[in-house]
Amino acid sequence: MSTGDHKDTVLIFTNRFGEGHRQAAIAIQAAIRQRLPEALPIIIELEKASHPFFGYVAHQLFIGGMRKFPKVYDYFYEKTRRKNTFSALLKEFNRMGLSTLLDTIEAMHPSIIVATDPVSAGMVSVLKKRNILDIPLTTVVTDHAVHSYWINPCTDRYLVRCGRDWRRSASGKIAST
């Protein structure tokens, strides 16, 4: 971290598609404020930073769909557990709004980016893979299980609940912390 009046910005991305993602972001922000008072942790909801209208519509469809058709949610969750054509297609669909997201990141000048949801982790990873962004990315896996949707090629660090979760996951790339 820097010294003097300048505060290093920690950009924490979350989304409204799960309360656990948001609560993790709030806890991370509080911990950073307590342990690193020289840092500036900022929480940003992905939907607002990447594509506000589409994010709102997607959120309404997601929440409504979960309430009315929970088995459909379970199906999609299971389909993304392992890397396959469907999970790859779904990841590509979630790349809409990359340029708006990049504008948000560049305006904040973060020293590090933390993602508490798989969509923002994936989008930041794409920007890094395309050599558009060179900022460390930490992904905090907030789901009960690690599945392929969380795994991205340009994530620098993963934080998972325990090593057992990772050993049962789609890949062995993540070290438990």
Q: Do the domain assignments include residue 174?
A: no
Write the CATH number for 109.
3.40.50
* pLDDT of 175 above 60: no
SS3 assignment, position 101 = helix
Specify the number of domains making up the chain.
1
Dihedral angle, C-alpha 76, 144, 63, 120, nearest 10 °:
-80
- Cα–chain center distance at 128: 14
AA identity, residue 18: G
Share of the chain above pLDDT 70, in %: 63
With contact defined as beta carbons under 8 Å apart, do 131 and 147 qualify?
Answer: no
User: Of the candidates 114, 101, 97, which has an alpha carbon nearest to the alpha carbon of residue 42?
Assistant: 114
* Chain segment 83-116, per-residue pLDDT in tens: 667 666 666 666 677 888 899 999 999 999 999 9
Backbone angles phi, psi at 113, to 5 degrees: -120, 135
Q: Do the domain assignments include residue 176?
A: no
With contact defined as beta carbons under 8 Å apart, do 116 and 142 qualify?
Answer: yes
User: Of the candidates 42, 32, 33, 37, which has an alpha carbon nearest to the alpha carbon of residue 3?
Assistant: 37
Q: Do the domain assignments include residue 175?
A: no
- Cα–chain center distance at 135: 14
Q: What is the mean pLDDT of residues 113-132?
A: 93
Q: Do the domain assignments include residue 132?
A: yes
**Residue 148 is encoded by which pair of tokens?**
């392929």
* Chain segment 130-162, per-residue pLDDT in tens: 999 999 999 999 887 677 778 888 999 988 876
Structural domain including 46 reads: 8-167
Q: Do the domain assignments include residue 101?
A: yes
**Residue 63 is encoded by which pair of tokens?**
């929440």
User: Of the candidates 42, 44, 47, which has an alpha carbon nearest to the alpha carbon of residue 29?
Assistant: 42
pTM exceeds 0.85 for this model: no
Q: Do the domain assignments include residue 3?
A: no
